Amino acid sequence: SFYLSLSGFTYARLLISSLSIFSPTCEPERSNPTSTMFRRATSTFLSRASATRRFSTDVATPATNSSFVEAWRKVSPNIDPPKTPLEFLKTRPPVPSTIPTKLTVNFVLPYSSQLAAKEVDSVIIPATTGEMGVLPGHVATIAELKPGVLTVQEGTDTTKYFVSSGFAFIHANSVADIIAVEAVPVNQLDADLVQKGLQEFTQKLNSATTDLEKAEAQIGIDVHSALNSALTG
């Protein structure tokens, strides 16, 4: 269900964070010649790529990496080289000389597209650093999303979505790409189910005996509290 997917993803994030926190106390990784060579090759490839091409929100025309293709041909002349990330990049419109009147929004989920090249007046993003309003001409930004309400303003029409998590990429050419793991229009939320879920996870937290049970219950409370705020706010 929608609520389970929210809790599951948030728990995964918590698990990843816990692994990174406790990694210094783990047993040191044994030296592996193959993995060492792979890491060195990857590092060399990335350093060469960054020397000739810098990351930017304004993607230029894609170009193949000639040095990589040449090296591949020497090793495997009978096998076509794999595509590099550069070949999948699409050209973005240039940054206009004047600020446009509209913000172009792409709002996608793993299984569907909610908004595709939609021109709106503004969006309010539930970022982990706080609510962030985005207007045309906004500075290039990458923001992590937290459970909360994404508000899309188009003239006098306002559409609100509850998003579980994800990222927002604000480009210098007044294009906003919003990628959420899960989302649903706020008007489709069931207030009774939200209250029921909040009560259930509160009871689980009170009766939890292990750290894992406490963490899962707290995640459920956080998500359902955000859902409740979306309905009441």
Q: What is the mean pLDDT of residues 153-171?
A: 92
Lowest mean pLDDT among 39-43, 67-71, 226-230: 39-43
Q: How far apart are CA 102 and CA 30, in angstroms?
A: 54
Q: What is the pLDDT of residue 169?
A: 93
Q: Find out whether 81 and 73 touch, Cβ atoms under 8 Å.
A: yes
Helix (H), strand (E), coil (C) string for the chain? CHHHHHHHHHHHHHHHHHHHHHHHHCCCCCCCHHHHHHHHHHHHHHHHHHHHCCCCCCCCCCCCCHHHHHHHHHHCCCCCCCCCHHHHCCCCCCCCCCCCCCEEEEEECCCCEEEEEEEECEEEEEECCEEEEECCCCCCEEEEECCEEEEEEECCEEEEEEECCEEEEECCCCEEEEEECCEEEHHHCCHHHHHHHHHHHHHHHHHCCCHHHHHHHHHHHHHHHHHHHHHHC
Q: For 102-140, what is each residue's pLDDT tens digit?
A: 999 999 998 888 998 899 999 999 999 999 999 999 999
Q: What is the pLDDT of residue 72?
A: 87
Confidence grade of residue 233 (pLDDT, cut at 50, 70, 90): confident
Q: For 55-108, what is each residue's pLDDT tens digit?
A: 444 444 445 577 888 888 888 889 888 877 666 666 666 777 788 899 999 999
For the chain, give percent helix, strand, coil, nearest 5: 45, 25, 30
C-alpha dihedral (142, 147, 152, 153), degrees to nearest 10: -100
Q: What is the pLDDT of residue 2?
A: 46
Q: What is the pLDDT of residue 88?
A: 65
Q: What is the pLDDT of residue 58?
A: 47
